[in-house]
Structure 1
Amino acid sequence: MLTRYFKYGCYLLLGCMVIAGCKKLEDINHDPTKPTTTQPQYLLTGAEKSAMDVLYSGLQNGRIGMPYAQYWTGNDKANDSRYLLDEGINTTLWNNLYSISLHNLDQIIQINRAMPIASSTNQIAIAQILKAWIFQILSDAYGNVPYSQAFKLQENNLRPAYDDAKTIYASLLDTLAAQAAALNPAEGSFDAGDVIYNGNVAAWQKLAYSLMLRLAIRMADADPAGAKAVIEANYTKAMTSNADNAQFQYLGTAPNKFPYNESERPLSEFFVTAELVNYMQSVADPRLGIYARKAADSTYRGLAYGTSETNPNRLPPSEYSYPGKRIYAADMVGILMTYPEVEFILAEAAARGMATGDAATHYQNGVKASMEYWGVTNADSVAAYLARVPYVAGDWRNVIGSQKWLALYPQGFQGWFERTRLNFQQPGGDSLFHAPADGSLDQNVTYVPYRITYLVSEQQQNKASYEAAASAIGGDTKGTKLWWNKQ
């Protein structure tokens, strides 16, 4: 199976060159130094890997995504869980997605347009789909961001304007619809370099339609009619099983290990939160032993979210649960999107009155698919769990929200976006999330950040565009709600 993952240790840095010398899979552990001409397959590998590396890093995911979703809280440097944003971590997230991943994808498009080949239409479509995925993440994390002018470097446009986030959403939906239609499974795409789908055009089509559902459901409170139109027109063409999942399989050997793994040293920076552990224990969730590991006393014990390092009530670190061994495995996958998320989207859509089928059935399918994904396959066990967390139409926001949140683990950014969008609690309304136990260190937010603040470097180097964007969204603070967040 791993032979399909073409030399992805040889990825581009800043889209300038690729490293040659990888003739077969085992060569990815070498350190070749001979540069060669940029080729689309190298650019694609670089784009996929660099995006996953930063989205699943112990810095960006560990200190922004996972704590903001309230899956993890800090053991050391607990200030991240109290909303003191590290500017270096923020800068790397923005720069890596723009300067490496998006730049590489833009280069794939330009190369195929300049020198078209038989597979150019499919190569361009795949690059555009990945660009849409990344731009939604940027838009959902920051709000307005550079989009239409982001890659006009040939015009020396080093100070791009920020596009309106709602307008970006509309453009992304148009792009995904157009590229899904343009993809032709009868023609080739990438004969190498695609770690996610190995060039499978039909799989990329399903992903495009699934990403349209993600965009649409996220704007469901802000634009119900628009969300309804997109979902009803496209949901039958999205993922239908875990076989369709879009994920980047790391190899477990350097330099292609999962970006945050404990193959070389124990990881002790984060505990799972008491909020996660307590809720999973209350419903006897069989995934708990995968998401977390037992403390020294053989019990699961999370740390209250946002507890400072100096809190006198903190127990020794060995008394708390660290994230599960599989989550820290060197060959863990970087998740782009999975089938369980699609089912929860369709459940919510049905609960909102959209014509996507039965909400309870989609909800159950989502739970079952998540269990299957994590290896919980005993039918009786899954059925008993569903009986403990039944679908309740009048409480759909809490019921679907809490299970979708569990299914999105460890996708910190997606878990955070859904937490703020749905503003859900436990089924029945009891609190699931809490403000940081020792208080927020950001005067603009006490309960949960709604966005990440723009880079300090943007304030200095792209001042006019930054100021216009900050004014347009209502202020550059973590407490500013994004356009789709109406809860």
Structure 2
Amino acid sequence: MKKIFLSIVTLTVLTLSSCVSDNENFNDDSKKAYDASAESLLTNAQKELTDQLTTPSVNNNPLRYYVQYWAATLYTAESRYNLINRTIPDTHWTKLYQDVLGNLQTSEEVLSKETKPATVSDSDWAKQQQNKVAILEVLRVYTYQILVDTFGDVPYTESLQNPKIILPKYDNDTEIYPKLITRLNAAIAKLDTSGKSFNTGDLVYKGDVASWKIFANSLKLKLGTNLADISPALAKTTIEEAYNAGVLLKNLENALFVYASFAPNYNPIFDNLIASQRNDFVPATTIIDRMNSTSDPRRPIFFTPMADGSYKGGIPGAQNALPYESTYSHVGDAIKKPAAPGVLLEAFEVNFYLAEAAARGYAVGNTPEYYYKKAITLSCEFWGVTPEDTNTYLTNPQVAYTTAATTPIAGFPGTGTGTWQEKIGYQEWIALYNRSFQSWTAYRRLDFPILISHPRSVAASEGKVPVRWTYPSEEQTVNGTNWQAASTAIGGDKLTIHIFWDKF
């Protein structure tokens, strides 16, 4: 395992992002490891993908500020939605197109040139190679969804075709989702559980084809869930097909990337908080106050207690007072462990999707309340909460499905209607505490929790929590014509423009 992790950091990126230069030598790198294996390319893609979703670095992913899990102390720019100073969209774009999709594509190219060992039968070799390609395809779909959910229209049909196409056009985000579902269906059909796949290199499921099939169906469910408000017929078909084929329902099936306990391959949260000796990220009042008001048993895991045993957060977007070491609670120790896993998909998340589906009347085998309770239980189980404390929490009238959101909570007046969106929205938000990108997506889809933008947030946010990121500045200068066309098509390259599925 140690050798695998070391290969992650020594591997050089092999492919290119959608952004290019008109310099004919731009794409040449004399230091490229052209003989890298398909397995090492997969490993690197998985790590880069998980790093980008997991990291709290303000240079890469400040979304913990957006969904008000964390608040800033010394430096407030990113907590007020300034994306420009650190070119955050550029980093996100490059990592996903180049370091993830690029490596996945090159991995498949390497696979196509491999020679069958004499000791393996033709039939077994065909199954194994087909399964490998299907796994790469599933991860590509996962990554493209993130790009769409971040920016809206993005390069898709013309992406990753350099040097044939060096300035790709942007596709309509409404059209990309159905294409992703089609691709995913094809990949699922090719996953043959009677065959093998990657013997090494897969740090998520270690080449287990059955697990990848469950993951793929769960990803299909995730795509369908986002479509429910804008394309209900396609959403219903997609969700019901995924459920019937078998989705991720137990924590043992979670898609986890297990980090090393040593530098430089430890969890990015440990890197940014402990290794970097940064205590200026503190939990936000928004989530702490909500969890305090329901005596949530995950508090001592998510946060460190104050001297009196209470939990206190900082104000989102504010320059919270010093000394921050003793004025606020901090991020819990379990989350800051060097080998804490990064997560691509987990059981509680899937159960919340099924709760949404059941609330919409889709045929997914049980009631909204059943999946709601199951999701909360799985989240508590994952973090080590005892069954007794979990049951006490579930029977709290402010949490129980039949009564949740009908009673005002201090600081959270609620709507008084107790809609399923509100019930699920708040609990999913809490459970996604360590999954900021997915939480931002759930917030935009469900319109809960209610989040208030800081009054000194950047003018571009128009007094709201952003619902998309602006395109990379590099796209404006290098791929300007296509960037302008895409910006016009979506209604402007703004933080306030909704992704197509985000009906408002």
- Judge same fold: TM > 0.5, yes or no: yes
What is the rounded CA distance, in whole Å, between the counterparts of 2:81 and 2:32 in structure 1? 43
Q: Matched residues, percent identical? A: 34
Corresponding residue for residue 141 of structure 1: 150
Q: Does residue 457 of structure 2 align to residue 412 of structure 1? A: no
Q: Compared with structure 1, are the counterparts of its residues 4 and 212 closer, same or farther at alpha carbon in structure 2 (3 Å cutoff)? A: farther
Contact 2:43–2:202 under 8 Å retained in 1: yes
Contact 1:62–1:72 under 8 Å retained in 2: no
**What aligned pairs does 1:81-480 form with structure 2 within 5 A after superposition?**
81-85=79-83, 86-115=85-114, 117=116, 118=125, 119-155=128-164, 157-236=165-244, 237-261=246-270, 262-296=273-307, 298-308=309-319, 314=321, 316-317=323-324, 318-356=326-364, 357-376=366-385, 378-388=386-396, 389-392=399-402, 395-425=419-449, 432-436=450-454, 438-480=455-497
Q: How far did 1:7 drift?
A: 5.2
Q: What secondary structure does 1:256 align onto?
A: coil
What is the rounded CA distance, in whole Å, between the counterparts of 2:61 and 2:188 in structure 1? 35
Q: How far did 1:441 drift?
A: 1.2
Q: What secondary structure does 2:497 align onto?
A: coil
What is the rounded CA distance, in whole Å, between the counterparts of 1:175 and 1:116 in structure 2? 26
What is the rounded CA distance, in whole Å, between the counterparts of 1:8 and 1:218 in structure 2? 36
Q: How far did 1:315 drift?
A: 5.3
Q: How far did 1:12 drift?
A: 2.9
Contact 1:147–1:162 under 8 Å retained in 2: yes
Q: How far did 1:172 drift?
A: 1.1
Contact 1:248–1:334 under 8 Å retained in 2: yes
What is the rounded CA distance, in whole Å, between the counterparts of 2:90 and 2:231 in structure 1? 31
Letter in 1 for 2:236: K
Q: Compared with structure 1, are the counterparts of its residues 63 and 231 closer, same or farther at alpha carbon in structure 2 (3 Å cutoff)? A: closer
Contact 1:245–1:338 under 8 Å retained in 2: yes
What is the rounded CA distance, in whole Å, between the counterparts of 1:61 and 1:223 in structure 2? 35
Q: What secondary structure does 2:419 align onto?
A: helix
Q: How far did 1:445 drift?
A: 2.8
**What aligned pairs does 1:40-79 form with structure 2 within 5 A after superposition?**
40-59=38-57, 63-79=61-77
Contact 2:52–2:60 under 8 Å retained in 1: no
Contact 2:462–2:496 under 8 Å retained in 1: yes
Contact 1:391–1:399 under 8 Å retained in 2: yes
What is the rounded CA distance, in whole Å, between the counterparts of 1:464 and 1:359 in structure 2? 46
Gaps of 5+ in 2: 17-30, 117-124, 404-417
What is the rounded CA distance, in whole Å, between the counterparts of 1:380 and 1:260 in structure 2? 30
Q: CA RMSD in A?
A: 2.2
What is the rounded CA distance, in whole Å, between the counterparts of 1:4 and 1:355 in structure 2? 46
Q: Compared with structure 1, are the counterparts of its residues 49 and 43 closer, same or farther at alpha carbon in structure 2 (3 Å cutoff)? A: same
Q: How far did 1:48 drift?
A: 0.5
Q: How far did 1:472 drift?
A: 1.0
TM-score by length of 2: 0.86
Moved more, 163-172 or 86-95: 86-95
Q: Compared with structure 1, are the counterparts of its residues 424 and 5 closer, same or farther at alpha carbon in structure 2 (3 Å cutoff)? A: same
What is the rounded CA distance, in whole Å, between the counterparts of 1:199 and 1:417 in structure 2? 29
Contact 1:196–1:246 under 8 Å retained in 2: yes
Moved more, 46-55 or 330-339: 46-55
Q: What secondary structure does 1:266 align onto?
A: coil
CA deviations 1:331-385 (Å, max 9, x no partner) are: 1111100010010000010001111121111111101111111111x22211111
Q: How far did 1:52 drift?
A: 1.6
CA deviations 1:140-197 (Å, max 9, x no partner) are: 0111111111111131x22111111121111111111111111111111111010000
Q: Compared with structure 1, are the counterparts of its residues 463 and 354 closer, same or farther at alpha carbon in structure 2 (3 Å cutoff)? A: same
Q: How far did 1:36 drift?
A: 6.9
What is the rounded CA distance, in whole Å, between the counterparts of 2:305 and 2:265 in structure 1? 28
Report the count of equivalent residues. 458
Moved more, 161-170 or 448-457: 161-170
Moved more, 84-93 or 383-392: 84-93
CA deviations 1:295-316 (Å, max 9, x no partner) are: 355431011211135xxxx353
What is the rounded CA distance, in whole Å, between the counterparts of 1:406 and 1:334 in structure 2? 17
What is the rounded CA distance, in whole Å, between the counterparts of 2:419 and 2:480 in structure 1? 45
Letter in 1 for 2:163: Q
Contact 2:67–2:451 under 8 Å retained in 1: no
Gaps of 5+ in 1: 18-32, 426-431
TM-score by length of 1: 0.89
Q: Compared with structure 1, are the counterparts of its residues 99 and 398 closer, same or farther at alpha carbon in structure 2 (3 Å cutoff)? A: same
